[in-house]
Amino acid sequence: MIFRKAKFSDVEDILKLINDYAEQGLMLARARNTLYEGLREFILAEEDGKVVGVAALHLVWDELGEIRALAVHPGKIKTGVGREIVNRLTEEARALGVKTLFALTYQPGFFARLDFKEVPKESVPHKMWKECINCPKFPNCDEIAMVKEL
């Protein structure tokens, strides 16, 4: 298993992995142009030349970062791929000076096992919501807010 930063040639595989889950209602869909624009934020897991996991670290505001777009191939769930990706992004966040890391998720148990705590969405900084206005679920977000203090 190789963990590395994403490249342009990975976009279609990332898009498929994320949007396959989105079609099942398990995560929010991403547009191709959004992936291209945020490509530098992504780390992925690759096995035998195939993308088997992905997530991004998005810097939101002063000392605030978000783990977003976490997706692991169904055949690799519960193998540590997602955990390793989040751990790597957490270390990257620490190196950048992030003090608070959050995730909006439908899988709170996964993040809880990585020491994230569930919090009321209303308690998180307003800067966290700056991109939510573009979401098809806005203002009726049903994701769960999870926070980890670094």
3-state secondary structure of 102: strand
Position with higher pLDDT, 2 vs 144: 2
Under 8 Å between Cβ of 100 and 149: yes
Confidence of residue 15 (pLDDT cuts 50, 70, 90): very high
What domain count does the chain have?
A: 1
Query: What whole-number percentage of the chain has pLDDT above 90?
Result: 75
Least confident range from 17-21, 41-45, 60-64: namely 60-64
* Chain centre to alpha carbon of residue 86: 8
Query: How many residues are recorded in the chain?
Result: 150
Q: Is the pLDDT of residue 32 over 60?
A: yes
CA 98 to CA 62: how far, in whole Å? 8
CA 21 to CA 1: how far, in whole Å? 22
Confidence of residue 150 (pLDDT cuts 50, 70, 90): very high
pTM of the predicted model as reported, rounded to 2 decimal places: 0.89
Domain range holding 27? 2-149
Query: What whole-number percentage of the chain has pLDDT above 70?
Result: 87
- Summarize the confidence of residues 119-131 as an average pLDDT: 66
**Mean pLDDT for all residues in the chain:** 90
CATH number at residue 83: 3.40.630.30
Q: Is the pLDDT of residue 16 over 90?
A: yes
